[in-house]
Amino acid sequence: MRNLFAPTKKIKKLGSKTFAISLKNILQSHRNRYLLFYALLIAMGTVYAFLNPYAKSSLLPKCMIHSATGFFCAGCGLQRALHEFFQGHWYAAFRLNAFFTLALLLLLVDCLLLIFKLEKWRPLPYLFKNHTLLLFAASLLVVFMVLRNLPMEPFTFLAPKK
């Protein structure tokens, strides 16, 4: 009896070599991991394009931090921003959550560079390899969260708009 849960599946034989496909073999390449990540991101974007966070009967949860404290967290407006971003309304997405909209644009550029095999120009591998850059990005996120809660005029632009 054949084991249906075997980790590899033989595809074809060429001479003395047998080629096998398994999830482990596919994910050994960094490029394939990034491609899988971007495929999942596109699938999530497709879902968010059709879900309407503005509807009263929306299944999407409200921000618990904003509900409890009245302050905007770094993710406030993100669901609406994702909806607007994947609908093609990039300025509206930027007005709802500027930090994550810029991060999504960075991911879009990285994805295009990955698809066209321009590996040396991709920004994400440098960000994850350099811990100083990663800490700088995390500190920018904290600064963004603080600035969007200030009631002064230039910073009210960062608060999500209804």
Model confidence band, residue 16 (pLDDT cutoffs 50, 70, 90): low
Tokens (6 digits) for 54 = 């503005």
**Helix (H) or strand (E) segment spanning residue 17:** strand 17-21
First to last CA, the chain: 60
Whole-number pLDDT of residue 162: 67
Cα separation, 148 vs 63, whole angstroms = 15
d(CA 65, CA 145): 12
Torsion of CA 69, 70, 75, 81, to 10 degrees: 160
Are the C-beta atoms of 51 and 60 separated by less than 8 Å?
A: yes
pLDDT at 54: 86
The span from the CA of 129 to the CA of 72, in Å, is 30
Query: Residue 46 has which token pair?
Result: 């497709």
| Residue spans of beta strands (DSSP E) within 65-111 | none
Mean pLDDT, the chain, whole residue set: 84
Give the model confidence (pLDDT) of 133-157 as tens digits: 889 999 999 999 999 999 999 999 9
The pTM score is 0.76
